[in-house]
Structures are given as C-alpha cells and as structure tokens.
Structure 1
Amino acid sequence: MHLQCPRCRHPLHLHQASKGRYCDNKHHFDPAPEGYLDLIPGKKNPKDSDSRALMRAKRHFLEQGHMQPLVDAMAGLLTPLGERELIHLDCGEGYYCRALAERLPGWGFAGVDLAKNAVFAASKAQPEASFVIADPARAPIMPGTAQLLLVNDLRVKTEQLHEWLAPGGYLLHLQPGPRHQWQLRVSLNPVSMEHPLSWPALAGFDQLAQQRCQFSLTLDQKLRGFVLETSRLGWRADAEQRHRFIQQGPEQLEQDLLLSLWQKPR
C-alpha cells in the first residue's frame, strides 16, 4: 500500500531499519509491535473503537464461517483478475482480508480502519498484511497507486475512489440488497415494504460484473442478540423490541448482498 503523510500529504517512504514510514518533511511514523501504522496524529476518539465484548462477538461470529458464502462470491469475482494487492477500506478486525487470503494465494492484503483495537486484532492475526489506523473515507493512500479497493457500503465519494486507484485498477463494491436482514426489519417494523432492486452507478468507472449473493443464517438466542448489536437496524430498536426479537425472533435471517466489480479506465 503506497501511503502519504497525514500531515503534509507527501509520499511516505519505508525506513528499512525500523519498518516505519517517513516523508521528505521529516514526519516519522513508527510501527506498533504488531506491525500496524497509526496515521491519525493525536488522541483517538473512544467512540471509534468497539467494546471488547463486541470485538469478541464479531470475531466468534465471523470465524464460525457464517459469511463464507459472501467470501466465496467475492473470491469468484476476484480470481480472474490475477495476483494483486487488495486494500479493504473499513476493514474492521480484518476477517475478509484473512478469508480472501486463503482463497487467493499470492495476493497482497491491506486494510484501513479508524478503530485502533480492530486494527490491532487484524494485524496480530495476519502479520504479513498491512493495516493502518486512519479514516477510511480519507485514507492516506497515494493517488493513482491502489490496484484494487474493497468497499463495503462505505460513504466514500466516487471521485475519491477514482483518485486512489491506479489506471486500470479495480473496485469491488458491496452493499445490502432489498431483502438483507428482512426478518429483523419486519420484526421491528411490521409494515416494512421491500424496496426495488437497485444496483449502484459509479461515474468514471467501467462495470465488469455484478452478482447478487443471497443466503440465510440459522439463529439461536445468542446469534439474535449479536445481530441486534451489529446491525444498523438493531441500533434503532427500543428495549421491548430487542427483548422480543432475542427471545421470540425468527430462526432464519436472510442475507442479501449486492457485489459489483468496476475498473478505472487506463
């Protein structure tokens, strides 16, 4: 991952001895013992990190393979592109980088996230990858250098994604489909209506492929509680709705995700 200095936007160079980064204006950034770089100068906002309990729950959920159908779909779209470096914006604790590394041998992986504890966990679990603490919407990526960006429903301007990518570089875009977590939606709002299927339109990119990935999760009370904690829908639930969903909620939860692959013109 080619990085730029968060203070002056000049290119960051690798310091061979320390494995840190520095720019021509003598701004230095040393790596943490786990290998990640912190490119947000100053104190962190505690709101940018997940609680330890939520981190453990996410890790347990993902490592059990509940999202394997999505990993398989992404790998199927990416394999024909040949070996390259994938940068996951908003990478969390790095599960998708690790899961895709198993399916895409020879590839390089990197991730950007605001949460220090998530980046810590990602780097510790995958030391051969490159992880950076930074705002994914303003990632310190040198313009015109990224080979492939993975963006999961992140509010990043299309122009910014276009700027980061090298000519001929790829963008894998992931967003929820109209049936995503449908049983949770109707549990919280029984009059919910299904929205029409709508694929993104990204100006300045050539669309190469699109794929709708649909599968279901089998839920117990523990997983229903996890879904409430991690879903944007669940964040809006009141105490009564949360209790009812956990105790008497559905046994199946639909996952509906839209994958689209784009290329920046050469």
Structure 2
Amino acid sequence: MYLCPLCQTPLLLNLKQYQCTNNHSFDMAKEGYVNLLPVQQKNSKDPGDNKDMMQARRTFLQAGWYAPLAQAVAQLLAKLAPSNLLDLGCGEGYYTGQLQHALAYTAIYGIDISKNAVKYASKAYSAINFSVASAYQLPFAANSFAAVVRIYAPSKAEELARVIKTEGHLLTVVPGPRHLIEMKQAIYTNVQLHSDAIAPITGFTHLKRERLQFQLQFKHADDVLALIQMVPLAWKFTAEQKQQFADTVPLISVDFLIDLYQKTT
C-alpha cells in the first residue's frame, strides 16, 4: 500500500523495515507505525499538535463526549461497506479505533503529521496501519482506497482524487454554524458563525449531508478545560479566562456537518 515519500516507488516490508528499489528505507517503530514524513515535507521541527493538545483531545474523546459523532460516521460508512479506508488526520486514533470496531472486516489505515499522536494511536490500536505522513503528499499508490474519512483535517483535492478508487467515497466532517458557540461568546463581542455551505471538491460529486447537533452537559471543570485545550480557540483564552470559563461548567453546543462525496473522475 505504501509508496516511498522520496521517489514515489512502492515500499516493501522486509522484517521491520520498509524499502524501495532505490534503497530508501524506513524503519517500523517499536509501537508498530512507520514514519514516512521526510524532513523536506516538514514545516517545523515537530509538526502537528503538541503533546498538551494531543493529551487533552485524548482525555476528552476517550471520555465519550463526541461518541455520537463517531457513531454517525461509522453508520454512514457501514452502509457503503468499503473494502478498506484511510482516516486522514487520525490524531491519536480515537475515530480510527471506533471505525475499526464498527467495520470489523475492513482494512484500516491512519495517517497524521504529528509523530506524538501516531505513536499513541499505534500503541492503542495495534491492528490498524498507522503512519506519520503529510496529507498533501500521501504515501499511497493511486486508487488505493475505497473510502477516505477526513474529520477536520486539511487536505488537497488532487491527492484525495488520486488515492480514492473510481466511484469510491470521501466522508468529511466540518463544524456547523453553532459549533462551540458558547465558547466563542466568551471570547468575542461579535460572534461569526461557521458557514454551512457545501464545499465543492474537484473530482467528486456531493451525495448527501447529515447535520448532527447536541449539547455537552458538563459536571466537572476539568472536562471543559480538556475541550478548550484541544481546539484552536484555546489560543484566544488567557490561562485565567480558561479557568473562569471552565468553572461555570457551561452547557456547550456541538454542531457537526457530515458530508458524503463520491469520486467521479
């Protein structure tokens, strides 16, 4: 499945090392993942979410706060019955693991640019094929996947079209208009809502949309702090503002837009 990120020729696994015919090699880490992000594809020394953000997201997601989203995505994919899929921007593997459980006979791959996140994901879900890689230069052969899942992750339409099989599917999740609106109201005087426009993706036809809305009713400030820490809005809060907001233990609105596309070219 993997291509060499340096020369785009197939990688073959030889014991614990992936090798291509041009003698480029990539060791499998002891946790089971492979790092296919060469230095020239990095934008920083340690790209992706930092350890604090990853830990906060792991704590929050493992507590089940976003379980309805994982269930909704799994139900949509189960109807498609893909032979394999890629979780693009898999982070620490929460959604990837949920999909593995729901789609028991599907080969599942996960990639993320964060080595810290992939390391944890590979430890937690050993049956899934994880790699550190760029979503803009996917280390996979053309027409590799029956489905790709993209939850919040940035990507490149040309790369999605390259790795998804003809008539294969792309499932995306983006924030809806009222997502985390209470958090925004604590920061901004004038709150701008997320757009609910359906994004066109070159090479794909939009098939359907589901909107998932619910409220998070917290009992402990620590759970609120974990949510704040894992989202980009965290940078807008001072430490004091975070604690003040968390101490109110607010009801927080969650609003997701789940879109299903099919590759047409």
- State the match for 1:234 in structure 2: 234
Q: Normalising by structure 2, what TM-score?
A: 0.90
Between the aligned partners of 1:170 and 1:139, the Cα distance in structure 2 is 17
**Cα offsets for 1:200-220 (capped at 9, x unmatched):** 222321222210111111223
Give the length in aligned residue pairs: 261
- Alignment check: 8 A CA contact 1:49 1:116 kept: no
Shift of 1:244: 2.7
Task: Give the SS at the match of 1:137.
Answer: coil
Shift of 1:59: 2.1
- Alignment check: 8 A CA contact 1:207 1:260 kept: yes
Q: Which amino acid aligns with 2:13?
A: L
Do residues 78 (structure 1) and 77 (structure 2) align? yes
- State the match for 1:10 in structure 2: 9
Moved more, 184-193 or 88-97: 184-193
Shift of 1:109: 1.2
**Cα offsets for 1:154-209 (capped at 9, x unmatched):** 33222221122121221011111001001101111132143553222223212222
Distance change in 2, residues 1:252/1:39 (3 Å): same
- Alignment check: 8 A CA contact 2:54 2:91 kept: no
**Cα offsets for 1:115-173 (capped at 9, x unmatched):** 11211111111111100011223221222222211112333222221122121221011
Between the aligned partners of 2:138 and 2:145, the Cα distance in structure 1 is 11
Do residues 197 (structure 1) and 196 (structure 2) align? yes
Between the aligned partners of 1:28 and 1:101, the Cα distance in structure 2 is 28
- Structure 2: 5+ residue stretches without partners: none
* Aligned-CA RMSD value: 2.0
- Alignment check: 8 A CA contact 2:17 2:27 kept: yes
Between the aligned partners of 2:2 and 2:259, the Cα distance in structure 1 is 26
- Structure 1: 5+ residue stretches without partners: none
Do residues 186 (structure 1) and 185 (structure 2) align? yes
Distance change in 2, residues 1:223/1:167 (3 Å): same
Shift of 1:88: 0.9
Distance change in 2, residues 1:213/1:236 (3 Å): same
Do residues 129 (structure 1) and 150 (structure 2) align? no
Match of 2:22 among 22, 25, 35: 25
